[in-house]
Amino acid sequence: MPCFLPIPADHPFPIQNLPYGVFSAREKGPRVGVAIGDYVLDLSVLSEAGLLPSYGVFAEPSLNAFIASGRDFWNEVRATLQYLLDEETTTLSGNRRLRTRALIPVQELTMHLPVAVGDYTDFYSSKQHAINVGTMFRDKNNPLLPNWLHLPVAYHGRASSLVVSGAPIRRPRGQTKRPEAATPGFGPSLELDFELEIGYFVGQGNTLGEPISVTDAQQHLFGLVLVNDWSARDLQRWEYVPLGPFLAKNFSTSISPWVVPMAALQPFRVAGPKQDPPPLPYLSDGQDCAYDIALEIKLQTAAMANAYTISRTNFKEMYWSMNQQLAHHTVTGCNLRPGDLLASGTLSGAEKNSYGSLLELAWGGKEPLELPNGERRSFLEDGDTVILTGYAQGDGYRIGLGEVRGTIVSAPS
């Protein structure tokens, strides 16, 4: 499927990908575009020219209207875009005026949150991460809580504090209690951390009272983004019993600007980890429902010229699949809506250099991470930048998720 634009084989955004995002450029406000190579294809321009249906959907400042249009419409749009971008098609490539208006270099863009998220749920579905945390804070001989192998654990996050990649992350303040202190104190978090996750947007939702079955879950998924669910570990340690995280998580969650459609990722479906004990019937799914997506974490301190890779892992290691998460979320009859965001929880592999949080990489601060310039990190310091990237590798092409980055700035005075 060669594109008329020259795109290197290792570029994250080839014609096989076509992720959706919301951008502004050329003195025009936010609208919908697709990343292709080093350009963004302005879908409002193509729709205005009569090459795509439903102009209003693509002139919106979010993807919500497009997502709500349904799978048949997504497929029609994707097929049309691949046709227009094909090197054999001259409708776009041969029309200089239209091409100039529709294809905008990425350096001219400002990216925005792609979706106006109504509800956000964060899962806890990496077995190795749960084992690591349980070993550190509970019982190294029995690190998993009794429910963990039977259901995908989750909590409801805060949708209002979702930010797009590049937005600064202000260090939160809150109440903490040091182990040696008799009473809690108040101040900036001293144990600020990142969490490597993948999120997915709900496409077609469900009616209140009608669960989504695990075998139908794929039909309700629109696309994936990278997620950094920043975490204040010291706030969380003091507040989380008995109802779970609250202020430790509600101050910021960063997502990547490009939503990779599930259609682009179907060649990378693989079998997930063996689940033992077998899940209850409503969570039993005979499909290959994991995805082979390589993930990487880079850290750049204020004193470093370049970012340094501190971890690599893979999305296929997630124990509870997206299908199972969706089925479990709705089994009570809870209704999900187009544009709702669900996230995987921290993704950690079996080896230390594949852990998905600084909490694990520095083992609770006991084994500080050594950086190439001699600096050490137990938790994030002001000026630190965290960059998450991911891609699925095809035969001669790559489906990239882009990146999500954030820089820590000091707490308010």
| Domains along the chain with CATH numbers | 20-112 (2.30.30.230), 120-409 (3.90.850.10)
pLDDT at 413 over 90: no
Question: In the sheet where 39-42 sits, what is the strand order?
Answer: 103-105, 39-42, 28-36, 20-25, 110-112
| DSSP-derived secondary structure for 345-397 | -----SSGGG-SBHHHHTGGGTSPEEPTTS-EESS--TT-EEEEEEEEE-SS-
pLDDT at 21 over 80: yes
What lies within 8 Å, CB to CB, of 107 at 6+ separation is none
Confidence of residue 385 (pLDDT cuts 50, 70, 90): very high
Please tell me the distance from the alpha carbon of residue 21 to that of residue 15, in angstroms, as a whole number: 15
| Set 11, 112, 129, 220: catalytic member | 129
Q: Compute CA distances 259 → 34, 87, 270, 272, 370, whole Å.
A: 9, 24, 21, 23, 34
pLDDT of residue 339: 98
* Six token digits for residue 207: 């009616």
pLDDT at 390 over 90: yes
Confidence of residue 286 (pLDDT cuts 50, 70, 90): confident
Backbone angles phi, psi at 381, to 5 degrees: -110, 160
| DSSP-derived secondary structure for 23-68 | EEETTEEEEEEEEETTEEEEHHHHHHTTSSS-HHHHTSSSSHHHHH
Please tell me the distance from the alpha carbon of residue 188 to that of residue 92, in angstroms, as a whole number: 53
Confidence of residue 1 (pLDDT cuts 50, 70, 90): confident
Contact (CB, 8 A) for 74 and 82: no
- Section 48-64 average pLDDT: 92
Give the mean pLDDT of the chain. Answer: 96
Is residue 129 part of the annotated active site? The answer reads: yes
pLDDT of residue 54: 79
Please tell me the distance from the alpha carbon of residue 20 to that of residue 213, in angstroms, as a whole number: 27
| Nearest CA-CA partner of 252 in 138, 167, 142, 323 | 167
Q: Is 98 left (phi over 0), alpha (psi -120 to 50) or beta?
A: alpha
pLDDT of residue 168: 98
Please tell me the distance from the alpha carbon of residue 174 to that of residue 251, in angstroms, as a whole number: 11
Backbone angles phi, psi at 102, to 5 degrees: -90, -30
- pTM of the full structure: 0.97
Please tell me the distance from the alpha carbon of residue 123 to that of residue 199, in angstroms, as a whole number: 10
pLDDT of residue 52: 93
Please tell me the distance from the alpha carbon of residue 62 to that of residue 341, in angstroms, as a whole number: 14
Strands (E), 54-213: 103-105, 110-112, 120-123, 154-156, 162-164, 169-170, 173-176, 185-188, 192-193, 196-202
Angle at 312 between CA 308 and CA 314, to 5 degrees: 155
